[in-house]
Amino acid sequence: MTVYIIAAFTIHDRSQYDKYESGFSEVFAKFDGKMLSVDEEPMVLSGDWQATRSVIIEFPSKESALSWMRSDDYQAIAVHRNAGSTVTSLLVKGFGGS
């Protein structure tokens, strides 16, 4: 079943976050994910939005998403993500139509 990772980042140290971002594509390419959206100016439709960046990623399965996130390569760059931002992320199931 298709899953989506939805993440909201608040970037507080751009140089650290840039280190994460510079290694992201190479690591991400090794997995079956598809980047659907990266937006630093999302339109707030309701509620309170404090994040400075939103990201939506698609994976063919929960297992493939978790494999990416738990990989040694991703964990190596996530150090910079954690040093440069705070993040709230969710893994949600795709709508199967049934």
What would the pLDDT profile of 17-38 be if each residue is shown by its tens digit? 999 999 999 999 999 999 999 9
* Res 98 pLDDT > 60: no
Residue 96: its pLDDT value, please? 77
CATH for 3-93 is 3.30.70.100
How is residue 49 annotated by DSSP?
Answer: -
Q: How much is the pTM?
A: 0.90
The predicted pLDDT at position 27 comes to: 95
Q: What is the mean pLDDT of residues 68-91?
A: 97
Q: Mean pLDDT of all residues in the chain?
A: 95
Return d(Cα 33, Cα 95) in angstroms, integer.
Answer: 17
Indicate the pLDDT class of residue 97, thresholds 50, 70 and 90. Answer: low
CA nearest 54: which of 5, 3, 2?
5
SS3 per residue for 11-69: ECCHHHHHHHHHHHHHHHCCCCCEEEEEECCCCCCCCCCCCCEEEEEEECCHHHHHHHH
Please give the average per-residue pLDDT across 71-93, as a whole number.
97
